[in-house]
Amino acid sequence: MSDLPRPEALFANIDYTPPKADWMDVPADIKPGRYCYAANPESVKYVGLPNAHKWNPLDEDWGLPENWQEIIFNGLRERLHKFRSFKIFMDICVRCGACADKCHFFIGSGDPKNMPVLRAELLRSVYRGEFTTFGKILGRFAGGRKLTAAVLKEWWYYFFQCSECRRCSVFCPYGIDTAEVTIIGRELLNLLGLNIDWIATPVANCYRTGNHLGIQPHAFFDMIDFFCDDIEDITGIRPEPNFNQKGADILFITPSGDVFADPGTYTCMGYLMLFEYLKREYGLSVTWSTYASEGGNFGFFTSHETMKRLNSKMYMEADRLGVKWILGGECGHMWRVIHQYMDTLNGPDFQSSRMETPVNPITGTVFKNAASTKMVHIAEFTADLIKHGKLNLNKKRNANIHLTWHDSCNPARGMGLLDEPRFVAKSVVEKFTDMPEGTIREQTFCCGGGAGLNAGENDELRMMGGLPRANAVKYVHEKYGVNMLGCVCAIDRAVLPNSMAYWVPEVSVCGLHELVANALVFPGEKERETDLRGEDLPGMEDE
């Protein structure tokens, strides 16, 4: 036998086992691929947020103001007072661990600080150590610690590895919502100018021009016109959408991702076709707005105040145009803000008195659930139309598709929109198979890129976080032949294609109204040869 060292001996002096230590003693190791770039100070300045400065997460010195601890303490004190939920979440966790293995980022990474209980503990430990008598005296023995620069970096690293999806809260016996802790954590970091650019710049753009990409009204109009060209080519029908039309019954607002990024663009074409159909058949009066040209609200990932400011433009525009109610497109956090926060943020007098409890003018259905927000989700609207037999649909056009449904966190867990999208989907496709229990509906897994984390530079983080979702898709793909993943969220439509390309390349991603429009039959339309993506319809393949 040779004297060469054995393979294990070769590796013997390299220890791959990470050191065992209490989490408080393991400082955050900030790794490229897991974080998003620091905010551009110009964007921070634009919306008047404090301490705009240039900094780099990999640098030792983050350029913090001298009194940064004082700023955080004051901010924390103010929020403990203002948000009762936050104060309760700081006090009542019994560390039972029920939430620990429910976060997709922990499930995909095995990094303990991605366990929801520990993520919240990052902030809670400082609250204990600096704000409670018990913690001040007993320190670590009472789970308390001091706020140091290393702790602040750890906050930043891990609060921007939480997509605020609320999956963990479903499992907590006390209803503790770690997303709320993340939200406050990010708000505190914003007091020091420590946002990420993927959030800060869309927020500034949205504040300036009305949408995340900073697209100006004429370009927004142009894009929609471009879709109308495509629709005309495919169906022979040219939609004539209204823009900024005063006196319209309904204002339609969707995330700008639908207007500018594939595959959301096909969903956008779907809205245009649906509205055109309803106008021709039933005289529906809907207008788009080039001012309220963004449903998404990245302010939600920044601070309550920023969220409020970005949300307000939708209602200001509704007031300016004098519409009765707002129809909202397939968006995620737009709905979370509307459903969970808006009424408290704005108070009762914010909306125009001309707005009414939404009524579907075609079916007469009163959307009582939207009595206070005056805003209806398009999946509910379309489900109502289908239920009343108002749409002529031909499922065969979608015969090439075997669909499964991704419950987007915000509409599903945040507002309970579980059955309407499925009802619509099953009305327009022939083959539909749900993913297994525990991965859908209230327990749905996040796409991995929510809450402003869908940047390019953190692809590894998104793939890790997207693994539980993709893994369930892979299962229905392999077992049943599913080839399409549907969803009602623009972030999903931006994040899931990459996740699928990486984990299950045979599956594509679409929005709900893309499928609706493919199935929708206009009176007198020409025979379609392709779907909205320009792909041959079943039976129309070249010989």
Give the interface with ligand SF4 as residue ranges (CB under 6 A): 93-99, 102-103, 105, 116-117, 119, 162-168, 172, 174, 176, 178-179, 182
Amino acid letter for position 418: L
Q: How many CB atoms lie within 10 A of CB 292?
A: 23
- Out of 281, 319, 457, 529, point to the residue binding other proteins (CB under 8 A): 457
Given the rule CB under 8 A, which of 31-39, 343-351, 477-485, 518-526 is the region that contacts other proteins? 31-39
H-helix segments, 132-216: 133-138, 149-159, 167-171, 178-191, 197-209
- Which x/- pattern, by CB under 8 A, does the window 38-77 give for other proteins? ----------------------------------------
The verdict on 141 binding other proteins (CB under 8 A) reads no
Residue 162 binds which entry of other proteins, ligand SF4, none, CB below 5-8 Å type-dependent: ligand SF4
Each residue 220-239 as x (binds other proteins by CB under 8 A) or -, in order, gives --xx--x-------------
Among ligand SF4, other proteins, none, the one that 10 touches (CB under a kind-dependent 5 to 8 A) is other proteins
Q: Which does 242 bind (CB under 5 to 8 A by kind): ligand SF4, other proteins, none?
A: none
| Residue with smaller CB distance to other proteins, 478 or 525 | 478
For position 438 contacting other proteins by CB under 8 A, the verdict is yes
Q: Cα separation of 289 and 528, whole Å?
A: 30
For the bound state, the minimum distance from the C-beta of residue 349 to other proteins, rounded and expressed in Å, comes to: 38
Residue 373 DSSP code: T
Contact between residue 211 and residue 294 where contact means Cβ atoms under 8 Å apart: yes
* Least distance to ligand SF4, CB of residue 186, Å: 11
Q: What is the DSSP string of 78-141?
A: HHHHH-HHHHHHHHH-----TTTT--HHHHHH--GGGSHHHHHHHHHHHHHHHH-HHHHHHGGG
**In the bound complex, what is the minimum distance in angstroms from residue 156's beta carbon to other proteins?**
17
Q: Among 131, 174, 480, 503, which residue sits at the site for other proteins (rule: CB under 8 A)?
A: 503
Measure CA 95 to chain center.
Answer: 28
Measured between alpha carbons, how far is 339 from 341 in angstroms, rounded to an integer?
6
Nearer to ligand SF4, 71 or 100 (CB): 100
- Beta carbons of 396 and 515 less than 8 angstroms apart: no
Shortest CA distance to 311 belongs to which of 343, 284, 281?
343
Nearer of residues 188 and 269 to other proteins, judged by Cβ: 269
d(CA 194, CA 37): 10
Output 237 or 259, the one with its CB closest to other proteins: 259
Instruction: Please report whether residue 471 would count as binding other proteins according to CB under 8 A.
Output: yes
Q: Which residue, 296 or 358, is less far from other proteins as judged by CB?
A: 296
Residue 172 partner contact from other proteins, ligand SF4, none using kind-dependent CB cut-offs of 5 to 8 Å: ligand SF4
Considering only residues 468, 500, 507, 531, which one is a binding residue for other proteins as defined by CB under 8 A? 468
**Pairing between strand 484-487 and 402-405?**
parallel
Torsion of CA 169, 171, 172, 178, to 10 degrees: -30
Smaller CB separation from ligand SF4, 378 or 451: 451
302, 195 contact by CB (below 8 A): yes
Is 170 one of the binding residues for other proteins (CB under 8 A)? no
Residue 134 binds other proteins, judged by CB under 8 A = no
Instruction: Return the one option of other proteins, ligand SF4, none that residue 350 interacts with (CB less than 5 to 8 A, by type).
Output: none
Q: How many residues does the chain have?
A: 543
> d(Cα 487, Cα 501) in Å, to the nearest integer?
16
Place of tokens 């009163």: 366
Round to whole Å and give the CA distance between 147 and 98: 27
Specify the stretch interacting with other proteins by CB under 8 A; choose among 60-68, 216-224, 269-277, 366-374: 216-224
Question: Which candidate, 451, 376, 347, places its Cα nearest to that of 409?
Answer: 451
Q: Are 411 and 442 in contact (CB under 8 A)?
A: no
521 binds other proteins (CB under 8 A): no
Element of type H or E holding 515: helix 512-519
Structure token pair of residue 255: 């995330």
CB 162 within 8 A of CB 36: no
Q: Which residues sit at the interface with other proteins, rule CB under 8 A?
A: 1, 6-8, 10-11, 14, 16-18, 20, 26, 31, 33-34, 100-101, 106-112, 115, 213, 215, 219, 222-223, 226, 257, 259-262, 265, 436, 438-439, 455-457, 459-461, 463-464, 467-468, 471-472, 475, 494, 497-498, 501-503
